[in-house]
Amino acid sequence: MKSIGAKIGIAIVLIGLGIQFIPVKQANPPVTGDLVAPGAVTAVLRKSCYNCHSNETTWPWYTHIAPGSWLITWDVDRGRKLMNFSQWDKYDAEQKGFYNSQIYQMVSTKQMPPVQYMILHPEARLDSEMIMTLKQWKGTASQ
């Protein structure tokens, strides 16, 4: 007779395998109008922000394993809804200025990139020089 622990273990493995068949849509829609900014600014944003705030998301192997795939897809979808660099052409000058201020505020207060993102993407960490680059750009993003 199998122990209760073994039965629970088997059930967990079966559930883990079963949830892999629950699909999530991970797509990169077309870029309609990318952000136009100085090269240094674009480099910082591409390095630390574009994976969740653009239609140019990189979907590594681990983004296809449930339940992590659900959380990652939800984060990317939410990030794109909040602000999407790949649809920068759809924002008017006031929206662009607002987003620019928000970008600087979020990175200077260490709210972005999120800690859970940087665990798997340590290269996205912003140093003081990168934050200063965004500060100098702040207020000029209405193009």
pLDDT tens per residue across span 34-59: 998 999 999 999 999 999 999 999 99
Cis peptide before 38 (omega within 30 of 0): no
Which pLDDT tens digit goes with each residue over 87-122? 999 999 999 989 999 999 999 999 999 998 999 899
**pTM of the full predicted structure?**
0.83
139: pLDDT confidence band, cut at 50, 70 and 90?
low
Asked if 45 and 88 count as a contact pair (C-beta separation under 8 A), the reply is no
